[in-house]
Structure 1
């Protein structure tokens, strides 16, 4: 088993020379040590799916609220890499999700081995991300927090080459820790749940370098309205259950089939479809509603929204895939999930955790009508699933990460000053 020790430990400790210390602003470091304030905190993500960027946005909000940094930079690293790499991580990923999900799952499983593919992957990533590496060198942040493994890898590479001297933290945005999340060095990992932390330890991460905080979601979820108030805000009825159907941030997946299956249920409920950024999907659903209004009664198709916490507060059940961010938002809202056709790989593993804890049920398009009727018509089952979701939830996850980060990185700065 590989051994990964943080820079505080002996195996990865990097002595700070006189020239290294002189290259920093001693005045800034003294200010940081006294006031627990950082000159610059950089949050890095990658728009390979919507979740990583959503997590980064949540951390940015919590950082700005906390006031611990004079400057907060939130950057999608794919904006500073080659066009080929950008396409591979974003467009090609979405294409695989839609056209060959089982191939994606096979790749995910085959690469889940610490260090096995590091050399080839690192060579490719560095060659295509030179602008991003130069950016890190020039910006000189005090703290770098990464919500995607590519961002974490690039920050670690810059540190090994002594182009970056910052506290490095990685936030795992799934319930399962894939080996790609490991980078060398990383000072601290933030894990979704205890199971995630145990997996990181099995991969060689020291337990002292892991905090279980949940996946960061918007601080708005900590102040979400009651179910009754949320329905009033959204114009939804209070006498019928509300079922959300999520297409994900990019509006991908078999949404039309899911909606059609839901409309066949015997139990009457209100349906709200969250179409994300897919305006074509939204228009298609609205067109179907106009053509067959009796079939699509109590039906609403919603585009991209910044009020997800309100929709989830209003709902009784979420139908969708088990992405890390959507699942975490549901858990924080005490909202049960009916997981349909999760993407092989990380979403299937996420689903296993949710099912194990009783916060979700699962099905496929063929059985969706039956499963949905069974769950939505049983207040007792919905209550049990909601309680299980609430027990797993971390509504203040972003704030918890920022608070812990302040403690850890401030201590690191004090140690560097004493050397």
Structure 2
């Protein structure tokens, strides 16, 4: 029994509320702070796979809530400049057999909201929005941690501080005494996400993608609530994007990069200029030498962003579950629990961060020639029926729960 272990969790998007949920189940008193004014809505579609599905099913009621908020997409296709598809690959229809198209796809904002709502049943969890920390002081590795806040609110002490505030975590920089970009490994890729007023696919449940030379890839999908959503991803221009981000001009940079890129790019450029939920970020991996330092620990993208592999949400859910489970298992011995958490997570992190060598050429080819080859292969796979066979044959490539089974813990 953890008893009155006091924990501060920094970040309220997926990893943060998931960590708070499991820590509360372990008996801890949890405070979650978030630098934004509330739970952030919108964002890209994320997949829950393998170990993420296992964690979801161990949270009573979560699977039903996720199923009630799907993106609505039942397949994916790649189109020509005039919008005609080369082919379509659909989901397996079996939630226990994940594939290229996830059976559990949900918008990031919706998943964050679901996890936040699940935590509200616990009086031991409280949220403070529009707040961030400016310092972490540890007098001894086994002692309490003093935290100072940006708003000037009174300093507080905690038995554990958890950074769950994303790949560019400011909290990681404070807790590990490093720079914000230290331990960040670029993948030379960035992406922008936003909603569109117009549904460019006419209500279709098949999301469509289009590639233009220069590593530019655009996707569009319909929303069941009306309108649509879009993503613009680029490979090869991350340094320029990073400079634009430092100047706060990401929106202008993305718009200029995609003008006359083909298909519906010009229409989407006009949409992104006024989209209220526009969000753009560099796609990176985070590789730290150690996941914890004293009573400070990393969960989710802050500690092990996986980049473009597609497993970020699942490993964040698994990390939250394992951290709290080890704290519960070690009956208040936080130091032993953090060591066990590190040992459990390292093999999973190594596996989830493996980027297939040809992934960039498949998703965002640089030349028209490579785009044509990729499209022809996609058409063959989609129209021949090979896709269905490959999804069954390579099911393990989309799963991780069998190779890395999650421990069973006793919860309150």
- TM-score of the two chains, using structure 1 as the length reference: 0.30
- Greater length-normalized contact order (CA 8 Å, ≥ 6 residues apart): 2
- TM-score of the two chains, using structure 2 as the length reference: 0.30
Determine which structure has the larger strand proportion and give its number.
2
